[in-house]
Structure 1
Amino acid sequence: MRQDVRVILLVPANPLRPRQPDEHFAAEAQAARAAGFEVAVVDHDALARGGDARRAVTSVSGSGTAVYRGWMLRSEQYATFAELLAERGVVLRTDAEQYRRAHELPGWYAALAAVTPPSVWTTGSDRADFDRARVELGAGPAVLRDYSKSMKHYWDEAAFIPHLEDGAAAWSVASRFLELREDDFVGGFVLRRFERFAPAEVRTWWVDGVCVLVGPHPDSPNDSVPVEIDLAPVAPLVAGLGLPFVTVDLALRTDGVWRVVELGDGQVSDRPAAIEPEKMISALLAAFSPADEQMARDPARGQPADVPPA
């Protein structure tokens, strides 16, 4: 890590012990201190519920570059977070516009359209706009979500639409989705063409467009990761987005092709237990390494030369 760059890892505070990291991120905070990061806690609840958001960053002092590892924030909440930190001389390495592009599907879909299921979306939750998107995607099965999240744990009632041509049944799924998401609904409906995948997903971690970690998805943390994952079709597309720190969830389609299920901002992507916090922190430190160290990774495959799959 370059010694002239003050790097701060920001993590949510423990609600019961506000000066300590939230237990979910405590191991990463400890690993960060050991690796040379400074660590500061922020009040996630103050950011998420609005009101006195300025109180969220009172524990952050000095100036420098920051990376957040914490609970999900809406794009507008993250923008406020970035502004409040900038007032204190701290610049988030992922700016607000970059966060929105990674966090919301319309921001990354066009760049990855060749390697992800065809998708259409609405602006808002209007029935007429939903029907327009439904017709545009065409007949057949689809998966419903909003700009940032699905309700896949409610698969039959709020995620899977067997027949897009059945408008009433499709809207029933959308209505249940809205009911479950409530105030957390983001942007609009997204309809994605259903593709059949093997059960387990793989989560890959990318810094400056280069894959630095490969591991299981948090929903299936005990599943082994295939030894061979062909990142060649995906790597230049992820790099082309120009995003500092993202995760890309991949699944093997039944015809043997790897497909992108989701791209997300790495700051708010959950780390499965199979990836040790030290590996996560090493991946983040790579973002601040000199250029010759960055070249040690193989950009052609998007696979780090010295980090084997988890």
Structure 2
Amino acid sequence: MPPRAELEVEEQGPATAKVTVSQRSKYARPRARVQFRNTHGFVGLSAGALVLAAIGATYWCATQRTSRLRDALCMMGCVASLVTTYTGIKIIDQAPRQTVVLSRPFAVIPPHRDAFHRTSYSIFYLCMRIAWNITSSYSLHGKQSWIWGSVLLRYAWSKFIPSKTVDWTNGNTWIFIVPMALGLSVDALMQLPGIQCTSTEFGTACWNDDIVTQLDLLWILLSGLVIAFVFTVAFRGVMSVKHCYWGAALVVWLIVGHLASKCLLFLRSTIENIMSIVQFSGPVQIG
């Protein structure tokens, strides 16, 4: 701060002086609320680039040799995403606790730190799904598939199902928490081998091959990385947090709409097949 003699002041009284607004903005040095770390920033950019490259490779790789390149890019993108998430958790305390993005007609107050934890859990989940798809394409897991499905279902229910302390009057719960909980829980349930495939009016369909494909998982992973980055930039004052929030909400609901349009027929056919099996087996008679 420069000496008082170097500032233009307005005489307000014998013992008071006021710095003009232009001088306040000149000498004020607002501190960024979120600071990038070298490791976090570099790995974050690498993760985005690798996932984007994996998406491109998934579109254009058709031969066995190029499919190995695609799988390698997917695995490297997942590893970089996990490292980005881990390093981001270390600086989460620099983010604001919450922001009021809407007060009327209902309150929408996103708790940013809790939201980042939930985003981290979803990135972990997506990376596990992508890695499992790659490993299962090279070998049949048998009983391991049941273990995998059970573990993934337990993880989804413990991390994404709203707890008893959730505020149901907060619009953020319905905008983000509920759709993420439903989508990830249903996807985890469909990892159980007994219900992964079903017969529809268009033929046999499998969840991981025809509904939530590897390409869908990669796009969702890239969306999560971009949303996390944009929020980080917004916390530094580069852009509006409200605009960032509603943009992220639009992306989430576009993903929900895309996947819902693909899975409704599958889920209906699965339920009908299960009901037909139950009715065919009939009641069990004892004695």
**TM-score greater than 0.5 by the shorter chain:** no
**More helix per residue:** 2
Query: Taking structure 1 as the reference length, what is the TM-score of the superposition?
Result: 0.23
Query: Taking structure 2 as the reference length, what is the TM-score of the superposition?
Result: 0.24
State the structure with more CA Rg: 2
